[in-house]
Amino acid sequence: MTTTWKVSLPCTRAEADLLAEDQLFIAGSDSTPTIVASESDSKRPDEWMIDVYCQVEPDAALIGNLLKLSPSAEAAAFQPLVEMLDDEDWVTLSQQGLEPLRAGRFHVHTSSDQPSDDPRLTNLCIDAGQAFGTGHHETTMGCLHSLDRLKRTSHRFRNIADVGTGTGLLAFAAHHLWPDAKIIASDIDPIAVAITEENCELNAIVPGNGRGQIRILQSNGLDHPALEQRAPYDLIIANILAGPLVALAPQIAAAASAGTVLILAGLLARQKTEVVRAYLSQGFRLRQTRLENEWPCLTLVKARKYGHARTPMRKKSPLAPDYFGEI
């Protein structure tokens, strides 16, 4: 029997942003913990929860370090809730019980549910696991709808990057919309990379470097040599958090060329101005905002006068979206 311990405490959205940015390691334990930050209630978007899963009983040092991740809980003298969970993968179970959903032309379901028999819909099978991006959060829904809209407005893409892929869902959606494209999906979390590989098999998608395939790799942002070598991309998707989105703006701009379409999500409405400003300064222009409750999904386009950072300006590909056209 495997025993898992869970430590929980509330936090703010800003504290969750910092947690994701810093990739903080919690000392005081003989095992590396799994840290999960999640929204408690979509109607109260500033209220989040930190759950830490570990294989040994949390000691005072671990609990003390955990409190430092949530200054608001520490200031309120909140005592973390400690639970012992027996013989289960509770990180996975925390995401189970999800109902199939519809987003644009996509029907997203788990392997325990039946795919849709509606010929107008594209089925995507995404099992719950120790990575995020099942499609049920507003940020992922916004990205699915935005990708669907690009297809409906006759945009074509041949070189696509999904940064912070989670379960691989958005990369899979792009694959179905543009089946001849080369797609690369990356995540900083090795667990997310492994789950994306598993989900590839569930969706009969071939991992690889060729057209119609998806290259899956672990990377902090776009630092991986394979991501740099394949640039510039004509479509970049990044559904992460506001802090990392701002920090990655120069890297993403360097991986884009004139006409590159960029889909950004993971930010709250009150963070939109800061994120948009970071990308305007890198030569992007905001073309559309889709709002799901308090979660905007932004579609931007790289302006013509800004070329790819490592290559000279060249004539725009006839396959690239028109910057002056409607997104």
Query: Binding site, residues?
Result: 140, 164, 187, 239
- What is the distance between the alpha carbons of residues 209 and 217, in angstroms, rounded to a whole number? 11
DSSP H or E segment with residue 196: helix 190-202
- What is the distance between the alpha carbons of residues 79 and 53, in angstroms, rounded to a whole number? 17
- Say how many C-beta atoms besides its own lie within 10 A of residue 169's C-beta: 29
The residues, any chain, with a CB within 8 Å of residue 270's CB and separated by 6 or more, are: none
Chain Cα centroid distance, residue 236: 12
Taken in order 187, 221, 267, 304, the sign of the CA dihedral is: negative
Task: List binding-site positions for S-adenosyl-L-methionine.
Answer: 140, 164, 187, 239
Q: Please report the DSSP string for 164-191 in residue order.
A: S-TTSHHHHHHHHHSTTSEEEEEES-HH
First-to-last alpha carbon distance for the chain, in angstroms, is 53
Nearest residue to 90 (alpha-carbon basis) of 176, 6, 159, 168: 6
Let me know: does 181 contact 205? Beta carbons within 8 Å: no
Q: Please report the DSSP string for 5-73 in residue order.
A: EEEEEEEEHHHHHHHHHHT----S-SSPPEEEEEES-TTSTTEEEEEEEESS---HHHHHHHHHT-HHH
- What is the distance between the alpha carbons of residues 11 and 246, in angstroms, rounded to a whole number? 21
Nearest residue to 252 (alpha-carbon basis) of 228, 273, 276, 269: 228
